[in-house]
Amino acid sequence: MVKQKSRIVLALGGNALQANPKEISAEAQIKTAKETAKSIVDLIEGGHEVILAHGNGPQVGQLVATYETAAQSNPSLPLMPFPECGAMSQGYIGYHLQQAIRQEMFDRKVDKSVASIITQVVVDEEDEGFKNPTKPVGSFFTEEEAKALIKEKGYTMKEDSGRGWRRVVASPMPVDVVEAPIIKSIVDAGHVVITVGGGGVPVVNRNGQLHGVPAVIDKDFASEKIAEILDADYLIILTAVEKVAINFNTPNQKELDRITIAEAKQYIEEGHFAPGSMLPKVNAAVKFVESKAGRTALITSLEKAMEGIEGKTGTIITA
């Protein structure tokens, strides 16, 4: 599917960072990042320009909750706001990916550098997303545990795609990527960049000054935004499933191979994709393909990334 020497924005889903979503430890993430790096360096070795984005839902939720728990037992400890936790998550996830990719490139004698950029993403203060929290973060809970957390901490909690209950937070749409010129210069220089981690730290522009806001941008939409800005040829969203399905999790489930944006929009309208999980991926793919002629999006699993790129599997979204 992918032409030689393409510019590809690769959005890494949660399973590219933790094999087990219930275990959000540094050790587990380092191990998974090493596996993930292999698929990424396959692409780089294939001559493509790769821009990496990644999620942070489990990590940012864990960081915020850890500070809350610490402050409960010791009120002299400060709470850490969402934007700061978002920046921390970008830092340590980027560090794990950087180490893994650097090593994999070194082992394969690929002469490139890799760096992550703490990326700020501008959002609109009036975005409807601030009124209706939709972005699942942190760990999974049972319904009973979730109800206790709603009562005790005032969290908004929702069921997440049949996998359990999670805290949900505001998720405004990305408007612009503050560090885009630096990101572009790294890509143009032939190096590998990790950016818009966790969708980027959400900031609002008040009279020219940037202020962090408590929200978590969806990394699929932020990946789409940077893909447009960098004039990428492909947006590839890697997640836990090989293909997008209609009638998902029902006896009539049908996996989709190649769909047009018109078909994708029809399936969205019919409610086939779960909000907070598959829906933003399909919406981001549609937005990217619509943004300029010749752009293609692919949604597949990390394990099948190379086959997907060769056009052998995954769900391909074209004009």
Ligand X SMILES: Nc1ncnc2c1ncn2[C@@H]1O[C@H](COP(=O)(O)OP(=O)(O)O)[C@@H](O)[C@H]1O
Ligand Y SMILES: NC(=O)OP(=O)(O)O
Name which of 15, 18, 56, 105 is nearest 222 in CA terms.
56
Q: Who's near 246: CB < 8 A, 6+ residues apart?
A: 253, 254, 256, 267, 270, 272
Residue 161 interacts, among ligand Y, ligand X, none and using kind-specific CB cut-offs from 5 to 8 Å, with ligand X
Choice among 55, 276, 281, 308 that is catalytic: 281
- 14: annotated active-site residue: yes
Site for ligand Y (CB under 6 A): which residue of 14, 129, 133, 172?
14
Nearest approach, Cβ of residue 42 and ligand X (Å): 19
What's the CA gap between 40 and 306, in Å, rounded?
Answer: 9
Site for ligand Y in 43-72 (CB under 6 A): 55-57
By CB under 6 A, residue 13 contacts ligand X: yes
- 219: annotated active-site residue: yes
Contact 288/228 with Cβ under 8 angstroms? yes
- 281: annotated active-site residue: yes
By CB under 6 A, residue 6 contacts ligand Y: no
By CB under 6 A, residue 274 contacts ligand X: yes
Site for ligand Y (CB under 6 A): which residue of 157, 216, 236, 264?
216
Q: Considering beta carbons, is residue 191 or 243 the nearer one to ligand X? A: 243
By CB under 6 A, residue 199 contacts ligand Y: yes
Choice among 55, 61, 86, 135 that is catalytic: 135
Q: Who's near 292: CB < 8 A, 6+ residues apart?
A: 228, 231
C-beta atoms surrounding 255 within 10 Å: 14
What's the CA gap between 266 and 286, in Å, rounded?
Answer: 11
Name which of 38, 185, 162 is nearest 115 in CA terms.
185
Residues at the interface with ligand X (CB under 6 A):
13-15, 55, 161, 239-241, 244-245, 248, 272-274, 277-278
Please identify every residue annotated as catalytic: 14-15, 135, 219, 281
